[in-house]
Every structure is written in C-alpha cells, then in structure tokens.
Amino acid sequence: MNEMIRMENVNKSYFMGEESLHVLKDISLTVEKGDYLTILGPSGSGKSTLMNILGCMDTSDSGIYQFNDIELNKCTNKELSWFRNQKIGFIFQKYNLIPQYTAMQNIIMPLLIRGITRNEAVKKADKIVSLVGLSDRIMHKPNELSGGQQQRVAIARALITEPSLLLADEPTGSLDSATGKDILALFKKLNNNGNTIIVISHNNQVAKQSKRIISILDGKLIE
C-alpha cells in the first residue's frame, strides 16, 4: 500500500462573535491507498470539521494536508473545487438525491456535468448499478425506493467518477439496523475491490466494520 493522504499538525478555529473556538487541535493522520477507516466521535468532537477539510469543502488554519503529493492547504478555492469534483466521492446520511430524477439519472449526473455523452454515462453506470445491487430499480424515482435503495443510488453516484477516495458521512444514520448492515457489507465489498474509504460516524458498530478506527475527542485524534 502507498500513502494517499497525509495530515500534519492541522488546526482549525472558528470565531463565534468575540470568542475563538479551537475545533481541531494538531491533527496528524495518514491514509494508505486501499485503506478503510472510520473516524469515530460524539457530536461536537470535531469530526464534521475534519470531514470538511478531508473533502476539500473547508481549509485548515495551519498545518499540512497532502493528497497524492498535492499540498491542498496551498490551493485556491477554485483548485480545491476541481480537486473535490475529480478525486472525492461523497456519500451522505440523507442521500442528497434529486427527487424528480430516476435512480439512473441521479447516478449519471456527475458524468453529464463533465460533458460525457449520455450513452457513455449509462454504459458506465450499468456496471456500477449491478455492483451495488440495484439493477431492477434504476427507473424508479427516490420516493419509490426504500432508504437502503436510495443509499445504494447515492453510493453508485459517488463511484461513477472513479474517485480516489470515498468519504461517507454517517452513511447508515437514516437506516434501520438490518439495512445498515447491508450497506456496510457493500462498503466492505467496495474496499476489497480496491476503493479507499473514510467513514465519519458516532456509531461503534459502524466503526467495527472498518479496518482501522481513529477516535476524535475535543478536536484531538486517538488511534
């Protein structure tokens, strides 16, 4: 395995009026290509802020964030936006699907935005749809799908751009426990296929499915 992500002494503070809130404190972290780790922490621990920095949706105040030899802490907002769209696949607790689109339309949307033809996009999606176990539901709209099926659509959409990293925020948080187990089994399968996955969660049972668990508490990491 080789190093994909390296964080060194990353700090992040927010100002609440006159008060400064130190959310991340000297975070150092490495992630290898093909890794599957969970960042585990309670509400208010700093895990969402860390996810936003990992996902290039926010930047640190100090420290180094290197991804595939690119120092992201030195990038402009435009460069971060490009990097986020090219390299990271996001999976959210609430799925974030477009309600008026079918499952297939939701899945291929990122490719169409990149200018890939619809025929090419559908051909690419067909493989992923069968990988995530959705083949018989692709013409349904989100409101015609169960929570687990909607999350599979969201996972397929994240995978279609072949991202370097899958970043999942509480991916089973809106699901019952049996469906949650199915989604975590799918993550394991994706990881076995070579996908690098970081899950952000407060749930020990979710964390136990990954290869590594890193706890975050009061803005500090404990491996």
Q: How far apart are CA 58 and CA 80, in angstroms?
A: 9
Q: At 1, is the pLDDT very low, low, confident or very high (cuts 50, 70, 90)?
A: low
**Quick one: tokens of 150?**
């909607």
Find the distance separating the first CA and the last CA of the chain, reported in whole Å.
19
β-bridge pairing 196-201 and 88-91? unpaired
* Domain total of the chain: 1
Which candidate, 9, 11, 48, 46, places its Cα nearest to that of 30?
9
The CATH number linked to 80 is: 3.40.50.300
Model confidence pTM above 0.85: yes
Mean pLDDT of the chain: 91
Residue indicated by tokens 């986020």 = 84
Instruction: Note the pLDDT tens digit of each residue in 175-220.
Output: 888 888 888 998 999 999 999 999 999 999 999 999 999 999 999 9
pLDDT at 37: 95
Which candidate, 214, 150, 145, 155, places its Cα nearest to that of 190?
155
Q: At 134, is the pLDDT very low, low, confident or very high (cuts 50, 70, 90)?
A: confident
Q: Give 26's DSSP letter.
A: E
Instruction: Note the pLDDT tens digit of each residue in 51-85.
Output: 999 999 999 999 999 999 899 988 888 999 889 88
**Looking only at Cα atoms, what is the longest distance across the chain?**
55
pLDDT at 33: 95
Q: Which domain holds residue 44?
A: 3-222
pLDDT at 211: 94
